[in-house]
């Protein structure tokens, strides 16, 4: 299944690994912060509603 | 619908509630289509395209390097447009969209620089050269970092939006330079554009079609990330406003 990358295998694989790791980190950090902020806002709005 | 009516309809999205409601509806489509395009494009490019007669298997790096470089420049141009909208119309969502896009642009620039260096080592015999395109790209990367740092450094959000918008205008020179440096100076190691309206200059079709799919994937991922992150910035701004109101009330 794996294509024969010849003498440049390390070059190609490291380029893919670095890029995919960077993209994954970007997406995961964005989702993590998004969920955290959304939950914080919901908590705050509930508290403010309770306190009038 | 006339152009003026369409433009007026667009301004409706300056309302944070309308923006959040609309993006929440369309985001699943953008996440899914980005994932599908990226998987199809990268699998097609990596597993099912031949080696290049000159570059060998390193040609497969094109499927990451070119879309990332394209998005690095276009992310800054999108920030330029939204910054101008902020400066002229004072729409907060527009300033927050620019802020949300910057980290995405940083990662795209970093991918373009890293994959370029990794490819350059065996092909050019060096990781880095002070070539016009590479240098202008590095400066664009530094502008991105400066832009994010400026947002973080200023407490007042409107002042931060004003100053980052001005920085964005200045940095746009380097965003354009990094695109056209090869044409302007016609020197250095970096080759001309891989994609061109002139078919003769394009890469061969066998590389071109998977590359197009990868570019579509990067564009869709960028849109999904910017929509999602702008929503996060809007909510974070609301938290600050509510806390400030609570402090004043108590």
Instruction: For B94-114, write each residue's pLDDT tens digit.
Output: 999 999 999 999 999 999 999
Chain segment B232-247, per-residue pLDDT in tens: 999 999 999 999 988 8
Query: Which of B60, B118, B232 has the CB atom closest to A37's CB atom?
Result: B232
- Whole-prediction pTM: 0.92
In this prediction, residue A52 has a pLDDT band, given cuts at 50, 70 and 90, of: low
Chain B residues with CB-CB distance to A37 below 8 A = 232, 235-236, 239
Q: Is the pLDDT of residue B68 over 80?
A: yes
Question: Can you give the pLDDT at residue B250?
Answer: 67
Q: Is the pLDDT of residue B224 over 90?
A: yes
Q: Is the pLDDT of residue B197 over 60?
A: no
Structural domain includes residue A14: yes
Question: Which of helix, strand or coil describes residue B56?
Answer: strand
The backbone torsions φ and ψ at residue B52, rounded to the nearest 5 degrees and listed phi first, read -85, 145
**Residues B196, B162 contacting (CB under 8 angstroms):** no
In this prediction, residue B132 has a pLDDT band, given cuts at 50, 70 and 90, of: confident
Structural domain includes residue A1: no
Structural domain includes residue A23: yes
DSSP bridge partners of B56? B52
Question: Can you give the pLDDT at residue B178?
Answer: 77
Question: Can you give the pLDDT at residue B185?
Answer: 61
Residue A33: give the domain boundaries.
6-50
Q: Which two tokens stand for residue A45?
A: 């709005």
Structural domain includes residue A12: yes
**Architecture label for domain B29-249:** Up-down Bundle (1.20)
Chain B residues with CB-CB distance to A11 below 8 A = 58, 61, 118-119, 121-122
- Best to test chain B binding among A16, A19, A49 (most B CBs inside 10 Å): A19
Structural domain includes residue A40: yes
Q: Is the pLDDT of residue B230 over 90?
A: yes
E-only strand ranges, chain B: none
Q: What value does the mean pLDDT take over residues B66-70? A: 96
If one counts the domains in chain A, the total is 1
Question: Can you give the pLDDT at residue B181?
Answer: 66
Question: Can you give the pLDDT at residue B189?
Answer: 63
**Which are the contacts of A34, defined by CB distance < 8 A and separation ≥ 6?**
B228, B229, B231, B232
- Best to test chain A binding among B39, B56, B102 (most A CBs inside 10 Å): B56
CB of A26 within 8 Å of any CB in chain B?
yes
Q: Which two tokens stand for residue B205?
A: 């079709």
Extents of the domains making up chain B: 29-249
Q: Which two tokens stand for residue B217?
A: 């994937």
């Amino acid at each position: 299944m794996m294509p024969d990358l010849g003498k440049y295998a390390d070059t190609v694989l490291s380029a893919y690994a670095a890029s995919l790791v960077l993209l994954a980190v970007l997406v995961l950090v964005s989702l993590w912060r998004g969920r955290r902020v959304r939950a914080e806002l919901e908590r705050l709005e509930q508290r403010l509603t309770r306190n009038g | 619908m006339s152009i003026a009516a369409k433009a007026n309809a667009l301004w409706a999205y300056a309302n944070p509630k309308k923006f959040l409601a609309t993006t929440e509806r369309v985001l699943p489509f953008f996440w899914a289509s980005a994932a599908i395009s990226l998987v199809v494009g990268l699998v097609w490019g990596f597993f099912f395209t031949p080696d290049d007669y000159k570059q060998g298997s390193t040609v497969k790096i094109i499927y990451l390097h070119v879309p990332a470089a394209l998005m690095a420049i276009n992310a800054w141009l999108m920030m330029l447009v939204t910054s101008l909208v902020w400066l002229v119309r004072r729409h907060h969502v527009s300033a927050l969209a620019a802020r949300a896009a910057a980290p995405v642009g940083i990662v795209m620039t970093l991918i373009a620089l890293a994959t370029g260096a990794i490819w350059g080592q065996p092909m050019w015999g060096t990781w880095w050269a002070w070539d016009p395109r590479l240098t202008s790209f590095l400066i664009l990367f530094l502008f991105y970092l400066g832009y994010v740092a400026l947002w973080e450094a200023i407490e007042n959000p409107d002042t931060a939006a004003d100053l980052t918008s001005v920085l964005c205008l200045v940095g746009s020179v380097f965003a354009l330079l990094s695109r056209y440096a090869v044409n302007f100076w016609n020197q250095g190691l970096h080759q001309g554009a891989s994609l061109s309206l002139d078919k003769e200059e394009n890469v061969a079709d066998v590389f071109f079609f998977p590359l197009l799919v990868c570019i579509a994937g990067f564009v869709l991922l960028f849109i999904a990330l910017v929509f999602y992150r702008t929503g996060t910035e809007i909510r974070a701004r609301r938290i600050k406003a509510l806390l400030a109101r609570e402090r004043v009330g108590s």
